[in-house]
Every structure is written in structure tokens, then in C-alpha cells.
Amino acid sequence: MNFNEQVDAIEEMIYSDERVKRLLHGYLLDKDKFVPDPWEELYTEGRPALLKLLTDSQRRKLSDIEGAYRHNLHHAFRFAFPRGLCAIFQQYYSDGTGETAFHDWVEEQLLTEPLARFNRGLLNRQNQCADFLSKLEEEADETAKEYIRNIKSVWDDRVYGMLQYGFYLGYRCGLAAIAEERMPQKLEELEKKILLTEFELKIIDTRYTQEALEENGRALTAYLLSERDAKKRSDLNHEKEDRP
């Protein structure tokens, strides 16, 4: 039996396009649960308007940039998933609190990632996308610039979310294996570390934080929506003035 072939088959199943899409969709849904993300909404709704403001060449450049960002989602998942597996086993077999598992295994290691020294590294790819966006912004007219400036922050957040959720998926897979040992006392001790890890990943919040986010989110969303509506009215008025 060739075990390398079995490992490759398992990796192909884990790191599939469909799984990356599901993780991203889940991240965006969970993030929107308490506080709707106005930047994500503005990006999604504003993209058709942006395309109308760009030339054919600029649209192709934007498509290439967004494609590169989507590739970065896959790279982020491949980077984070195995580190989540390692983190839960480290917590299980050591006395540490696990309070900074994501920071230790992902954020810190990302900076020293071997691939980061080359063009294929996640950090380099993110920086390249940002550079291409800046150049596209320089070419575009003033109205298009407003939409383009928002793209980087949206995709940075998506890639970071994939690091979080990829890490947590690996973490939960390891936890499922540990649970097979059926040792209630050790699992009870591990539960405290799990709570700290989930809190670090912002998968859970205190009740105080949840209520504050709900209140602040409603106020921020209302403000941004009012600004967007005002801009639409302004654009409409300009269109009327430009008509013969």
C-alpha cells in the first residue's frame, strides 16, 4: 500500500475549493450575526458600479487582483489548518493555558514562514495585491477611487478570517480525535483552554461585548447607509445636470 497516495487523497479532500468557499461563507455569516459589516456590504453592492467606471483594461486588472486574493484564501487555509491540529494537541499534553494559541501558531509563524521569503508567500502575495490596487487607483477617476480604496480592507479581512477559521477547523478535528480517548477528567481540564482559544479567535464573546457590539453596529450601519444613500442622490443629481 502506498501511504503517500492516501495522504495526498486526504489533503485533496480537506483543501478543496468547496471547503474554502464554505469556510469563507461561514466566516462572513458569523461576523454579520451581531454586527453587519458595512464595508463588506459596500464592496459587494458597489462592485457593479465600479465596473461601469473602469475601462476594459482596468476591469481585467481588477479581475486579476481579485483572483490573486482568492488564491490567498487557499494559501491561508493550508497554512492555518495543520497549525490548529498542532495547537489542540499541545494544549492537551502540556500545562500551558492556551490563551494565545492562534497568535503563537499562526500570527507569529506567519512572519517566519519559509515561503514568505519568496513570491509565493502569503504575506508577499497580500502586499503584491495591495500594490496592484494602488496602481489601479492611480489610473482610475475620482469616483472609482472611492470604491477601490475599500477593496484592500475587505480582502485583508477575508484572508485573516480564513486564517482564523482554517485554524479552528484543524483545532476541532484534533479535538474530535482527542475526545475518542473518553477521559472526562482530562477533557474537563482542556475545556478551559478551549474557551480561551475560542475567545482569542472571537468565536465567542462576553455578554457585555455582544450587547455593546449590537448597539455600536446598529449606529455605524445606520450612518454608513445614510452616507451611501446621500451619495446615490448626489450621483443622480449630477446625472440629471449632465443630460442635455
pLDDT tens digit string along 153-198?
A: 999 999 999 999 999 999 999 999 988 876 766 777 888 899 999 9
- Domain boundaries of the chain, sorted by first residue: 14-204, 207-244
Judged on CB neighbours under 10 Å (0-12, 13-18, 19+), 98 is buried
Contact between 204 and 33 (Cβ < 8 Å): no
Of 225, 237, 173, residue with least CA distance to 38: 225
Cell for 61? 486588472
Residue-wise burial string across 131-169, b where 16 or more C-beta atoms lie within 10 A, e elsewhere:
eebeebbeebeeebebbbebbbebbebbbebbbbbbbbb
Cell for 23? 469556510
How far does CA 65 lie from the centroid of its chain?
Answer: 16
The mean pLDDT of 82-109, rounded to a whole number, is: 89
Please state, in angstroms and rounded to a whole number, the distance separating the CA atoms of residues 184 and 177.
Answer: 14
Contact between 150 and 46 (Cβ < 8 Å): yes
Cell for 111? 512572519
Q: What is this structure's pTM?
A: 0.81
pLDDT greater than 80 at residue 143? yes
The pLDDT, as a whole number, for residue 240 is 42
Find all residues with CB under 8 Å of 163, minimum gap 6, and list them. 76, 79, 80, 106, 110
**Confidence bin at 216 (pLDDT 50/70/90):** low
Average model confidence (pLDDT) for the chain?
Answer: 83
Cell 475549493 found at: 17
